[in-house]
Structure 1
Amino acid sequence: MDTSDASGGDDISLVLVDVDTLDTIAVGTYNETNLITFAEWVCSILVSYKNITAIIERRSTGSSLLDYLLLMLPTFGEDPFQRLFNRVVNDYDEVPERYKEIKQPMNRRSSDIYVRYKKTFGFATAATGYASRTEIYSTTLQNAAKRACDKVYDKSLIDQITGLINKNGRIDHADGEHDDLVIGWLLVHWLITQGKNLSFYGIDIKRVMSAIVTKTEESWTDMRLRHEQQVIRERFEVVFNQLSGEQDEYVCQRLEHELRMLDRQIILESGETYSLDSLMSQLKDKKQNKRRAYSKQQQQSNDYHSNYATGNYGDTSGVLSDRPMTARELIR
């Protein structure tokens, strides 16, 4: 979903896509509407249709829409972390502590969890990186066009896609035109092809992979190869997740060896790029940073207990005693 203030300028756009087939199921544009009423309607859709995962662009009024959903979805027994795209789930391997926190049942979570993590919800467009407009309009657009060009079905969306032009070195809509639907469509394809930990949202990765195939009729050999690739990729994800949380050096070496064996068997699709060495380097850096942080915390704890045991409580201001200082003595 691409958001706006719905006051007669840019549209709010909603695009619904089937992850099995990549078919466009529903499209909507909302140019003038009451934003509170619209937020209530979106909430009712998510409550009624349990298999929808919403990826909402976090700009303009998107943050307000997300705030409303974070407030209301739990009252209907719906977990916002499972129904709305968020970086806590997507970056589970980068910040495992917060991911561990949301894996608890909703009734056991801290009451302020949706406030503390509200900024992680939605797709926040950045200047560079995977969330940049350049990335969306290059890799994601190319992949979406190759895989789902004949599955769009909606005239307005087709017109916006085919109306894109090169403006000052970047892909954009022509003057007087819109690309709101294109953004909504591309966000879905970004989530399907580049989103991580999709199973937490209830998205079966095997179904997604079965949808991303060539449009020509598959032979029995091709079907078998595709199935083998699904199994390999699923095992790769499982092993990588295990390695991310493993501390035993021997086990880490064994898991890394298995990862490299699996990596040699993966056949990259057109437009798909990744480097196992780069992933391993990032993972090792994260583990080292965690160890340093833990070591520093442990040292501070040891220093505190050492000072307490020796009666060293800082500046005692002339108090010659091995007891802890009183409040009166501390404020002298």
Structure 2
Amino acid sequence: MSLLPNHPRTFTPPLPCKESFVSWKFNDKKQLKLLDNIYRLTTAGLKQRDIAAQIATYGSAIEQRIAADLLTGIDSGNGFAAGLKPWIDRLSWQALIAGEKAGDLAGGLNNALLTLRTRTASTSELAKSLAKPVIGVSFILAASAGLAGSLFTQFNAMVPMNRWDSVTVYAYDFGMFWQQWGSTLGVMATALLIGVSISLPVLRGAWRQRVDSLPIYRQYRLIQTTSLLHSLGNLTAAHYGLLDSLLSIKQHASPYLTWHINRMINHVHEGRINLGDILDTGLLSPSEQSTLKLLGQIGNSSTILLRSADIHHAIITDELAMLKSVGTDVIKLTGASIGLLMGAGIGNLVLSVATNITL
């Protein structure tokens, strides 16, 4: 099986990456622009050195530095991908090197673009799916607090509270509750969300396994699974062994993913040779885990891994769409319920005022 750790090809660990500089100065958007430009020039038929010269002449200051690294990589015989390694997303680089080693630079660039777009889209969609209902409900509750503290108070001067009906009193009490406790509960909810966000990449082991099927944690796990499978598929397609690929990915993985990779490495050292058995750490979806065990002895491991990555990506895409839909429904239902309550309370007060004026 080509994925065994004694594969004749040895993977050289990545050079230290300008991580802080890349994340701050050369963000995902700029990386996508650069890769798209290189892909366009490559498909137009330009040679690698000419592409680097184009970037050096017409690119930004950072892109000119990248062009210098590209020329260094070309001159040293390491190829185009070597010059891009310190500058682009790790997963995208692995897709690029796989295409370059296979003699298909344009295909590698296209896969690198798809990988980066997939990762950024999944992460941003997860954040949006969580933020939208939280912000929407917070705004609705703040509006109820504002109505209770202003409009209801003004009506109290015209219609004493002891003459209010039960619905109006409940609407007033509801709004005043959020006026008095909204900030405190908001801080607590924010702290909880921050805690969950911090725990996503760092919480691991038995405690993580207890919560890994819960919303947010599950979606994060699927995103990490997709990234790992894409990386393994691309690296093995470039003829790197599975153990070398795992060790490479581990260098830049989160503590959560590192915990799973360490277990996979242990499985290799234990002598497991079935791909599904090696990756059996609880990271993959159960159905795909079973499929990998069935296909793990057949061969074409890179193809199997990349197809599994695509399936996991489809799963996370569907679940993010569902979260987005649920979030929208929560906002609509909450808004309608609170709006009906506050509207009924205000309507009853208006009727009471009109009755008093008539009398």
Q: Name the TM-score, length of structure 2 as normaliser.
A: 0.27
Which protein is richer in strand relative to its size? 1
Q: Name the TM-score, length of structure 1 as normaliser.
A: 0.29
Higher RCO by CA contacts (8 Å cutoff, separation 6 or greater): 2
